[in-house]
Amino acid sequence: MDKKVLLISVPAPAVTQTQTEVDYWNWHYALKSKLTYPNLSKEQLLYFGNTENQNIGLLSIASALRENNIAVEYLAPSVDLMGDKRDWEFLDKVLAKVESFEPDFVGLSSPTCSIPTAIHYAQLIKSVRPKSTTVIGGAHANGCEGKLLDELADDFDYIIRGKGESPFVNLVLNSSNMMGICYKDNGIMYESPICMAGIPNYPRPANDLLNIKYLPAARVFTSLGCGGKCIFCVDINTKNFSEITEDSIIAEIKYFYHNLGTRYFYLGDENFFFNKNRAFRLLERINSLELDIILGFQARVESTDENIIKNIARFHNCTEIQYGVESASQTILNTAKKGLRIEKVREICELTKRYGINTQCYFLAGLPGETRQTAELTIGMIEDLLEEGIIDMAEYRCVIPFPGSEMWNNKEKYGIKIKNTNWTQYRGENHPPYDLSTLFSEEIYEYYLEGLRKITDIYAKRYMRDFGEQKLDINVLSAITEGGF
């Protein structure tokens, strides 16, 4: 093992929450602790911060490096690093590891909101070990092109776009294959197409590298891609749906269960039921393991039907299905290319509840074409669905035009005016960094807060009605990766 690689999952910057957000997330997870995670204790729930430790992309790259006899170590935040001290305490761990391990390559994975942190890390890593080659990847890097890519190349030696397994191995081995690898040399930008290698080049994550001893809830992928065309999505796999082998999925579930005490598995595919027969077969295999676990899924409303829900209910260990709705306006949904008929939301959620499965729906404020009327319509729909018991939980955020999304690439078409590229603001809990032609940023943010207040009121009433006890005081927003559990 001549070359050594250190992989770092860059933490999202700490969120300064308004009291409205604090109240919402406390009640949200208090309710979720009863409905979604009934088999987890308070102590186990407090370890949910460990889910941020599970950077599946980096762990898959680690497997690919190992297969090529390359030494690799992995660092990510864990539950012992939470709160105001997390950012600098984790940085201390990173720099200490760089000094002791002396890596030849340091790979950093970062969402858009963490890019300033990643740049800071790269600069300090270079000061500690100038010989280390810094590499940036992740959602933000995937979406960068043109000027943004050129700017990113000023702060890192290489940029990997797309699936990073093969490109990272090729980079370390000094291969002539530069697919997915971008860099700047003497001021000249060398840009390679995004790497879209298929599943045969997608090894299962090296989960033994997780620097934790306990993971009560884990996310496991069984496929990549969803087949959708949503204009706010930056998932490079969207149009490249592919399936992961069933044997490796079963092996991963067994590893988490026996080695890290995992009892809740979120099958976090963008659309778990894209291939219905395969999904049912996989559920049968999971059920045959006879493990003391519960499952959660994410599914697209438009590809779900009663047969799917009825089959899920047979397994008696699914506590929740999550659906992306986004807006109550059909016009907004059509503009967003959601491919969803709004009337089907109530139908599918009612069916899900009828078969004894909890439902959570996602909604967004500030999609292109949003007006006061459509924002109020969406908030009203959320209230109705919650109060009628058709859905159990709702997440409401501000949509963000991330680099690489159709919203970003076609700003003028969608009436979007970017106000700044302070990347730390590019997350759904901040003032949106853009104005719409139909609403200002401040108005979108106020509707977001109004929606949270109304959801919180309904949560509190339901919790006291159904459980009548002091709620669990837990706020894990900063600990759980967005779109996760």
Instruction: For residue 347, give Cα distances in angstroms to 83, 221, 390, 455.
Output: 41, 27, 9, 21
Cα-atom radius of gyration of the chain, to the nearest Å? 22
Partners of residue 223 on adjacent β-strands = 243
Domain boundary among 190, 223, 253: 190
Shared domain for 131 and 45, answered yes or no, is no
Shared domain for 321 and 407, answered yes or no, is yes
Shared domain for 169 and 297, answered yes or no, is no
Shared domain for 305 and 156, answered yes or no, is no
Shared domain for 99 and 34, answered yes or no, is no
How is residue 352 written in tokens?
């899900």
Q: Is residue 471 part of a domain?
A: no
Residues of the domain holding 126 = 4-12+55-190
Shared domain for 402 and 285, answered yes or no, is yes
The pLDDT tens digits for 245-295 are 899 999 999 999 999 999 999 988 888 888 888 889 999 999 999 999 999
Q: Is residue 195 part of a domain?
A: no
Q: Is residue 480 part of a domain?
A: no
How many domains, the chain? 2
Shared domain for 359 and 234, answered yes or no, is yes
Shared domain for 35 and 112, answered yes or no, is no
Question: Would you say the pTM of this structure is higher than 0.85?
Answer: yes
CATH number (domain holding residue 149): 3.40.50.280
- Contacts (Cβ under 8 Å, ≥6 apart) of 304: 273, 321, 323, 348
Q: Is residue 474 part of a domain?
A: no
Shared domain for 169 and 232, answered yes or no, is no
Q: Is residue 43 part of a domain?
A: yes
Shared domain for 244 and 284, answered yes or no, is yes
Give the pLDDT of the chain (485 residues) as one tens digit per residue: 589 999 999 988 877 889 999 899 989 988 988 998 888 877 777 666 555 688 999 999 999 999 999 999 999 987 665 656 677 788 999 999 999 999 999 999 999 999 999 999 999 999 999 999 999 999 999 999 999 999 999 999 999 998 899 999 999 999 888 999 999 999 999 999 888 765 555 678 999 999 888 888 899 988 887 778 899 998 755 456 778 889 999 999 999 999 999 999 998 888 888 888 888 999 999 999 999 999 998 889 998 999 999 988 887 789 999 999 999 999 999 999 999 999 999 999 999 999 999 999 999 999 999 999 999 999 999 999 999 999 999 999 999 999 999 999 999 999 999 999 999 999 988 899 999 999 999 999 999 999 999 999 999 999 999 998 766 555 444 333 333 33
CATH number (domain holding residue 332): 3.80.30.20
Shared domain for 407 and 386, answered yes or no, is yes
Q: Is residue 205 part of a domain?
A: no
Q: Is residue 447 part of a domain?
A: yes
Number of other residues whose CB lies within 10 A of the CB of residue 380: 13
Q: Is residue 481 part of a domain?
A: no
Shared domain for 313 and 430, answered yes or no, is yes
